Chains A and B, each alone.
Chain A
Amino acid sequence: MTQQSSKNAFNPAISLILNGTWGRFGDDPSTRITGFAPSGGEVIPGRGGSLGESELFLSGNIDPYFRGALLAALTPENTVEVEEAFFETLALGKGFTAKGGRFFSGVGYFNQVHPHAWDFADPSLVQNAFLGRNYGDDGAQLRWVAPLPVLVQFGVELGRGREFPGAGEVERNRNGAESQVYFANVGGDIGVSNAYQVGASHLRQRTATDGSAFLDYDDITGTSNLFQGRQRIDGLNFVYKWSPDGNPKYRNFKFVTEWFQRRYDGDFTFDTTGVAATDAMNAKQSGWYAQAIYQFMPYWRVGGRYDRLSHGNVGLNANAANLTPPDFDPTRYSVMLDWSPSEYSRIRLQFNRDRSRQDLASGEAITDNQLFLQYIFSLGAHGAHRF
């Protein structure tokens, strides 16, 4: 029974994630998904070798009442981003947990998963288009777990709407909670080999006073366009995991599917060199993906994913004369193979057949074959992962 007595016995758990990608694209990877508002948080590894974000994660119990965590991303552009910095209660009891600060929202399933734990080198198209890489906010979250033998969890978040979809070019300057998220999860086991979780979530925001850009026309026509009003995102997700006798060591299987729908209700301003036209806008767009990952022997996993976005209805009223609403459904197929010689290292090869961008001249999808070779290494404390 060795007793730790040194000063660093109270240091928080520290882990460092290193990752990098070698990418090969047919088309320019910086071109955005056609027909969907740019989220600004898109993660597309560049052409050739590119360093990913190095993540530094510190966490620990503050005292018997709170725990705290910081996730800082050191970007390849030599900046530091605070991705998450939050405290969480330990002592509320009765199934309640409160969280405050900056954190990844409970909307959807993959939104809370950090990039190093993703099953593919890039996020799903719908995650990219509707929520950015990981949608986070500055605010507070309250969760409650019901006292039942199966997991029944409810959560609510209030925030300032710091990020896309509601954020604009100018920082928000309003009192109150501009952004709200509600979520519910139900999960359990079926026998000893199967586990599942079903979730539903709802996000609502008002745009910042200066509105937010709507479609990706800025680059194309040299005009600016702006949406002001209310945005809502509804999401449903389902996760299923299997392993023989519940032992994932040798073989295991994971299936995830998520669906999101986004609605806009407000005013749209189309501005060509100072001549602004404003009219009501109502839009409804949706998207989903499904992915399956199979570990067929220790260290080796193979996976496939299908992505689809639906351009839906974009009602622009008078502005329909200025802008053609999108008429294109982006899709993508991905397959990957990864090798993890230990819990701390992973090397992944991924191929995407991407048809998420439209050739505006012909109206046809541009088929872009993309290849990624990625490494993810983690040093330091062994973290506990979400289901």
Chain B
Amino acid sequence: MKSRIKLLLAALSLLIAGTAHAAIDVFACSPEWGALTGEIAGNRATVFVATTALQDIHRIQARPSLIARARTAALVICTGADLEVGWMSMVQSQSGNDRIQVGKPGFLEVANFVPRIDIPGSVDRALGDVHPLGNPHIQFGPKQIQLAAEELTRRLVRIDPAGEGEYRARLTDFTSRWSAATQRWLQLGAPLKGITVIQHHKNFSYLFDFLGMRQVGSLEPKPGVEPTSAHLSDLVEQQKVEPAKLIVRASYQSPAASEWLAQRIKVPAVMLPATVGGSEGAKDLFSLYDDCIRRLLTALPG
């Protein structure tokens, strides 16, 4: 009898301990924000990642599973800048979750807190699917990631004040590792400085800016519009005037157009992971950058 009571007490204390340390549910719109949440929150958060590196995040649908996961989330972390415009507002309004609505600490759109490039002077749909708020593929800007980590920490502290010490300690640790890694990538990527590149869609503009590479064209004739043969011919012509050294596409894009052009202009075509999980090597934010730079270096001719 005594041992049974002991067992019961032990189970009860485990249960209470379990509740006291109950992890908060975090809904990450894409893998990079899932990985960043893992860095800052550790075991204090259970992260659900809504998309993969093989999916075009512009084209996701408000699937029932996403609504279900958003229902229980204490925090939704997305890119913003209209990247998730086609589905996130539907997920929010269907979820019945007051904590993740616009304006609440539980809804974090990272792009609102970081500098963005490619902000168009004027917008018109005739220019394609332009993003009036600038290039939303901010996961490839080391500075942007650092700012995102800081804002995420502020949000986590507001949502889960009991974890403040842990979140701040993890942010400090992340900051020093990230800053060291940033220096390392600059050294590693030094041979890429000044290299001209054509990319499928402007997925990697922040990375090219960081490494000092020069973008001389896109396979898409207009943002969001699939490559056309007329536009590819223009790129072949352009090669005579402003030659590109590399052609880059993201993991979710069809290789057809970049490989066609690569054969034509005798320039290597490289696939880069669009985000964490987009290649064997890209397991977290650090290895995502490592893998991208290594792939660019490997492909670099001569």
Interface residues of A (CB under 8 A from B): 1-2, 61, 64, 67, 88, 90-97, 143-153, 185-189, 192, 195-197, 241, 245-250, 298-299, 341-344, 379, 382-387
Chain A residues within an 8 Å CB radius of B104: 64
Q: Which residues of A contact B86 (CB under 8 A)?
A: 343, 382-385
Can you give 24 contacting A-B residue pairs, CB < 8 Å? A1-B114, A2-B119, A64-B104, A90-B93, A91-B98, A91-B101, A95-B71, A146-B71, A149-B65, A152-B68, A185-B64, A187-B63, A187-B67, A187-B68, A188-B68, A246-B54, A247-B252, A249-B59, A249-B252, A344-B125, A384-B86, A384-B87, A387-B62, A387-B64
State A384–B61 Cα separation when bound (angstroms).
8
Question: Would B62 and A150 count as touching, CB distance under 8 A?
Answer: no
Annotate B224-258 by CB proximity to A: 1 below 8 A, 0 otherwise: 11100000000000000000000000001010000
A61 touches B69 (CB 8 A): no
Interface Cβ pair total, 8 Å cutoff: 137
Number of residues from B at the complex interface, CB < 8 A:
47
B132's nearest neighbour on chain A, judged by CB, is A2
Give the docked Cα–Cα distance between A92 and B99 (Å).
10
- Least CB distance from A197 to B in Å reads 5
Q: Are B119 and A145 in contact (CB under 8 A)?
A: no
Give B151 Cβ to nearest chain A Cβ, in Å: 12
In the bound assembly, the distance between CA atoms of A185 and B88 in angstroms comes to 20
Q: Which residues of A contact B55 (CB under 8 A)?
A: 245-247, 249
Report whether B119 and A150 are in contact in the complex, using a CB–CB cutoff of 8 Å: no
Measured CB to CB, the closest approach of chain B to A380, in angstroms, equals 9
CA distance A186 to B63 in the complex (A): 11
Known A387-B61, A387-B64; contact A149-B69, beta-carbon cutoff 8 A: yes
Which of B52, B67, B94 interacts with A246 by CB under 8 Å? B52
- What are the 4 tightest A-B residue pairs by CB atom distance, in nearest-first order? A187-B64, A93-B98, A151-B64, A384-B90
Interface assignment of B89: CB less than 8 Å from any CB of chain A? yes
B window 66-91: CB within 8 A of A: 67-69, 71-72, 82, 85-90
A195 engages B82 (CB within 8 Å): no
Q: Which residues of B contact A196 (CB under 8 A)?
A: 64
Given known A93-B98, A246-B52, A385-B90, contact A147–B59 (CB-CB < 8 A)? no
Q: Return the CB mask of B108-137 against A: 1 if under 8 Å, else 0.
A: 000010111001000001001100000000
A97 neighbours in B (Cβ, 8 Å): 93-94, 96
Q: Which residues of A contact B69 (CB under 8 A)?
A: 149
Identity of the chain A residue whose Cβ is nearest the Cβ of B134 in the assembled complex: A2
Are B96 and A145 in contact, with the CB atoms below 8 A? yes
Partner-A contacts on B (CB < 8 A): 51-52, 54-56, 59, 61-65, 67-69, 71-72, 82, 85-90, 93-99, 101-104, 112, 114-116, 119, 125, 128-129, 224-226, 252, 254
A96–B99 CA distance with the chains assembled, in angstroms? 12
- Given A90-B101, A93-B97, A387-B64, the answer on whether A298 and B119 have CB atoms closer than 8 Å is no
Please state if A247 and B59 are interface contacts (CB–CB under 8 Å). Answer: yes
B226 touching A382, Cβ below 8 Å? no
In the assembled complex, the CB of A336 is this many whole angstroms from the nearest CB of chain B, namely: 20
Are B71 and A247 neighbours in the complex by a CB distance under 8 Å? no
Are A149 and B68 touching (Cβ within 8 A)?
Answer: yes
Chain A residues whose CB sits within 8 angstroms of the CB of B95 once the complex forms: 95, 145
Cβ-neighbour of A384 out of B88, B114, B128 (below 8 A): B88
In the complex, what distance in Å separates the CA atom of A382 from the CA atom of B85? 7
Given the interface contacts A1-B115, A245-B55, A249-B59, does A96 sit within 8 Å of B96 by beta carbon?
yes
Q: In the docked arrangement, what's the CA distance between A196 and B68, Å? A: 13
A106 to chain B, nearest CB (A): 11
CB of B82 to closest CB in A, whole Å:
7
The smallest C-beta distance from A164 to any residue of chain B, in angstroms, reads 27
* Minimum CB distance partner of A380 in chain B: B125
With a CB–CB cut-off of 8 A, which chain B residues contact A61?
101-103
In the complex, the answer to whether A151 meets B61 with C-beta atoms within 8 Å is no
Q: How far is the CB of B108 from chain A (nearest CB, A)?
A: 15
Q: Select from chain A the residue with minimum beta-carbon distance to B119.
A: A2
Q: A93-B99, A245-B52, A384-B87 are in contact. Are A150 and B64 (CB under 8 A)?
A: yes
How many whole Å from B57's CB to the nearest CB in chain A?
10
Inter-chain contact A192/B52, CB cutoff 8 Å: yes
A1 CB to nearest B CB, Å: 6
How far apart are the CA atoms of A144 and B87 in the complex, in Å?
20
Question: Using Cβ atoms and an 8 Å threshold, which residues of chain A touch B224?
Answer: 342-343
**Contact partner, A382, options B82, B97, B115, Cβ 8 Å:** B82
> Once bound together, how far apart are the Cα atoms of A93 and B119, in whole Å?
36
Are the CB atoms of B64 and A188 closer together than 8 Å?
yes
Contact B96 A92 (CB under 8 A): yes
Q: How far is the CA of A148 from the CA of B51 in the complex (A)?
A: 19
Contacting pair A64 B64 (CB below 8 A): no
- A241 and B56: CB pair below 8 A? no
Tell me, in angstroms, the Cα distance from A153 to B70 when the chains sit together.
13
